[in-house]
Amino acid sequence: MKLTELRNRARRGWHTTTGALQNGLAAFGLLVLVFLAFDGGRFVPIHAAQAGGMAFGKMKADIPTVEVAVREEVQPDPRYRPLAGYLARKYRVASGATERLVGDAFAAARTTGVDPLLILAVMAVESSLNPIAESDFGAKGLMQVVPRFHPEKLASHGGEDAVLEPRVNILIGAQILDEYIRRSGGLEAGLQVYAGAPDDGEKAYARKVIAEMQRLKDVLARAPRSGTQA
């Protein structure tokens, strides 16, 4: 066989081999994209699959984050804006977040029968509307609930970890406040028990909360009627 013909055959064989390899890799790549696009029978956009790499578990874990973001975009009730505006300015909290907290306070008031302005006043005094506030004593959240003292109330919400969820914290704090007021026979005495200072003859904590509650009443009194109903 001539040397020229041998070289031509070798060249054709090389092209055939590399072409097959390229086609095989292309097919493999397409198969990977198909698997990334369909996760457990649920379609996931290709760009999302690429962003998450090939770890399917990670993509699944990211889905609840999207759902939370959607819930947070729900517009708060405009009826709460006068109170929310005052609280947002005084305690330097974002107005949208404050409106949701005010809405949660009114929801807790409907459940417990406690005055919603009292609930908001306690939140303001206890935590300055900081949902992750925590004291050295172990009190946590907006209403500074101590989880180890109220495990039975937290149990129905998933346990102690739920204490930092604003809605849960506000509801449980309102329940505790209602119990203390009933047991103590009055608002001031109940507030002092809530603060852990029942023997304070000057009732400093109660006076502070009641003063903040009065300021909230004044805010509502100055607000347009359409913005005050709740």
Same domain (yes/no): 109, 213: yes
Q: What does the pLDDT profile of the chain (230 residues) look like in tens digits?
A: 554 554 555 555 545 555 554 555 444 444 433 333 334 433 333 333 222 333 223 323 333 333 333 334 445 577 789 999 999 999 999 999 999 999 999 999 999 999 999 999 999 999 999 999 999 999 999 999 999 999 999 999 999 999 999 999 999 999 999 999 999 999 999 999 999 999 999 999 999 999 999 999 999 999 886 544 44
Q: Is the CB of residue 148 less than 8 Å from the CB of residue 154?
A: no
Q: Map tokens 């908001």 to a residue.
A: 120
- Dihedral sign of CA atoms 139, 141, 144, 147 in order: negative
Query: Any idea what the CATH number is for the domain that residue 170 is in?
Result: 1.10.530.10
Same domain (yes/no): 20, 65: yes
- Coil, helix or strand at residue 140: strand
Same domain (yes/no): 131, 158: yes
Q: Give the Cα separation of 42 and 32 in Å (integer).
A: 16
Same domain (yes/no): 17, 88: no
Q: Which of 210, 170, 171 is nearest to 189 (CA)?
A: 210
Same domain (yes/no): 84, 68: no
How far, in Å, are 1, 131, 171, 188 from residue 9 at the CA level? 11, 76, 83, 101
Same domain (yes/no): 211, 134: yes
Please count the structural domains in the chain. Answer: 2
Same domain (yes/no): 91, 50: no
Query: What range does the domain containing 122 cover?
Result: 78-227
List Cβ neighbours of 220 (8 Å cut-off, separation of 6 or more).
82, 83, 117, 228
Same domain (yes/no): 62, 131: no
pTM of the model: 0.66
* Beta strands per DSSP E along 9-121: 38-39, 42-43
Tokens read off for 68: 């939370």
- Dihedral sign of CA atoms 165, 83, 112, 75 in order: negative
